[in-house]
Structure 1
């Protein structure tokens, strides 16, 4: 830099030759301002005024436009907020309507589930009663009747009726079990549908709460925030048609399940009545066969008892007869001894006196007659003794048969019929 631009002031009292550059104080002076002409000055002032007027006019236009835009945007925001509020209210009303429809269907499902629960209890009670009461009693009756003795251990109509009753009970149980499975499946489907309705109701209530909260918000609330993310602020990807179809599908599904459960209840009523009627028919038939068999056994027992009484009387008569025969034989022994003694003494006659005279002939005939009579009496005594032995055997057999009949009557009339009185078929 030259001295034309920077003035160098030397330190007073120090020669230039001995002053170093580092010890010198440099002062920078600005360059001289360029000078303008008067016309340039006037032109500059006129230009500044025109620029200022242009800026003022532009500002006036911007102020007017700003006020218009401000009023227009405020009105638009108010209109949009009102429109959004109205649509939120309409949406809340639509969702609440669908929610009410779902709640109606849910109540119907709950009522049907409760009713099916009652029918399930009826079926279970009937099954348990048939298993624990009727079936066990019939099988026990068969076991008890195996305790019959002798000829009474016969396959009779009572046994066939008991087997038929057991078959009827097992068939009824099979039908009731199949219906119970269908009932459980229907209850499972109703619970599944109720779960879907509950979930849909939960979602709808959450949507209603969200929209009500949005409806209650004001632009001046402090809880408002501005989203500055990059993702889409509205992630909804389900159309209104799909939404309506989903809700309508849930309602239709619930109504269909409720409708499907009603025929099952009617079928259970019909089946229970039919099963109980069939069981009553088998029960009455079996009781009738028991009664007939008991009557036959009582008649046979009464006949045996009559024969036993007659046999006992015959035994008594035969015993008396044997005593009389024995007495007759005893009496004949004296007569035989007398006749033989007379013959023996007359055999001691001497000489010509030993003649066949009428007394001798009479004694001979008497001895023959007594011998023949004794043989007849002995034969009759043997026959009477044999008859008495057979009568005693017959009496014992009759007593055994009577005891067998008494045992049969005890089993059929006392044991089995007492058990069967506890069988209870009623409308479950």
Structure 2
């Protein structure tokens, strides 16, 4: 009997559940709900479209007004930059002219100083030195000696005056160049600003290569006010004009000084030449002292060179010791497990490396000091050789050309 039931069950068909059934009222309610929902959404769409039109129109108007205002402000800024630039260029031209004028006066002063030192002072000193080597009855304080002393003081006073005036002139040129630098810097900044704003003025919303900034830093980092911007150029112009006026005053002062210098020099040279006899004496400066010192310097140079070589050899020898210690430490790094201990050998090797490094540093510092000392000695050797050559030349001039050189003491307006 069970087998029959089982066979019957295997032949059964499983039917799906019946769908839900609705009433006619449910059908009408569902249709009305759908219609009301559609009408509501249509009204909402119409409202959003109207609001979008209003926002678009107001936004376009606002953006156009903002662009027009920005264009006007850019044009106004460009005009302001152009005006400031013209004022700076005018001041720059006057500054350059004044610098050129001062450079001409600088050349005059340098020529005057060179002539005084090369001719008047040198010849007077040579004559005084030569007369100090007179022997016997000729070693007398005569009128020539007195006039030479006076001439020497006059020349030194004139030299000091020219040097001080030249320093004032150099300082004035430096200050004017400083003003010119700030004017040029201001002009360059304004040229860049003009170029940028002019480019911005020409840009349109339809221009190519426009981009939107997505960085974190602000796009308006400017912190300088328009008053500070205007004040900078104004101060640069005022400072330049002030220094230009100072330069003109200084040039007038130099004209007066140079005329007075020429008159004083010519007057004293004439007095000295009237009392000067044909006496020529040899002069011996510190030439022999320089030669002795030069020999000592050469000896010290040799000693220092040997010392440097010895230090270099010692430093080179220490490289083997430090390499040995490093190799031993490197080999001990291959120990395994508990054998990798910081034992006495490890500490000794570490201390050995540190001590070698300290000693090498001391040797290197000593080597640097020795090399610096050698350079100084070599420089002194060169200076002494130059001084000796000068003294040899001076002796030749004093011995042969003393009176001949005095004939060239004729000063004109510089």
**Structure 1 unpaired stretches of 5+:** 1-13, 295-414
Between the aligned partners of 2:116 and 2:267, the Cα distance in structure 1 is 15
Between the aligned partners of 2:169 and 2:146, the Cα distance in structure 1 is 34
Between the aligned partners of 2:102 and 2:13, the Cα distance in structure 1 is 113
**What is the CA distance between 1:111 and its match in structure 2?**
1.6
Q: Deviations over 1:177-232 (max 9, x none)?
A: 01111111222222222222222222221111211221222212231111223322
**What is the CA distance between 1:72 and its match in structure 2?**
2.0
Matched with 2:411 is 425
1:93 aligns with 2:79: yes
SS at match of 1:234: coil
TM alignment of 1:141-180, pairs within 5 A: 141-142=127-128, 154-180=140-166
Structure-2-length-normalised TM-score: 0.61
Between the aligned partners of 2:4 and 2:187, the Cα distance in structure 1 is 106
1:272 to 245, 253, 258: 258
Q: Is the 8 A contact 2:179 2:240 kept in 1?
A: yes
Matched with 2:172 is 186
Structure-1-length-normalised TM-score: 0.59
Matched with 2:19 is 32
TM alignment of 1:13-412, pairs within 5 A: 17=6, 29=16, 32-38=19-25, 40-142=26-128, 154-289=140-275
Q: Is the 8 A contact 2:172 2:247 kept in 1?
A: yes
Over 3 Å counting, the alpha-carbon distance change for 1:24 and 1:130 in structure 2 is: farther
**What is the CA distance between 1:278 and its match in structure 2?**
1.2
Q: Deviations over 1:122-165 (max 9, x none)?
A: 01100111111222333455567679898676433333223212
SS at match of 1:63: helix
Q: CA RMSD in A?
A: 3.4
Over 3 Å counting, the alpha-carbon distance change for 1:36 and 1:198 in structure 2 is: farther
Between the aligned partners of 1:200 and 1:161, the Cα distance in structure 2 is 58
Between the aligned partners of 1:25 and 1:232, the Cα distance in structure 2 is 76
Q: Deviations over 1:248-286 (max 9, x none)?
A: 222222222222222221221111111111112212333
**What is the CA distance between 1:117 and its match in structure 2?**
1.1
Matched with 1:405 is none
Matched with 1:345 is none
Between the aligned partners of 1:274 and 1:155, the Cα distance in structure 2 is 30
Between the aligned partners of 1:226 and 1:239, the Cα distance in structure 2 is 27
Between the aligned partners of 1:231 and 1:421, the Cα distance in structure 2 is 78
Between the aligned partners of 1:96 and 1:26, the Cα distance in structure 2 is 96
Over 3 Å counting, the alpha-carbon distance change for 1:33 and 1:246 in structure 2 is: farther
Over 3 Å counting, the alpha-carbon distance change for 1:178 and 1:31 in structure 2 is: farther
Q: Is the 8 A contact 2:266 2:410 kept in 1?
A: no
Over 3 Å counting, the alpha-carbon distance change for 1:178 and 1:19 in structure 2 is: farther
Between the aligned partners of 2:8 and 2:228, the Cα distance in structure 1 is 99
Over 3 Å counting, the alpha-carbon distance change for 1:34 and 1:242 in structure 2 is: farther
- Which stretch of structure 1 is more off in the superposition, 68-77 or 270-279? 68-77
**Structure 2 unpaired stretches of 5+:** 279-400
Between the aligned partners of 1:143 and 1:74, the Cα distance in structure 2 is 96
Q: Is the 8 A contact 2:147 2:272 kept in 1?
A: yes
Between the aligned partners of 1:276 and 1:34, the Cα distance in structure 2 is 133
Between the aligned partners of 2:188 and 2:13, the Cα distance in structure 1 is 89
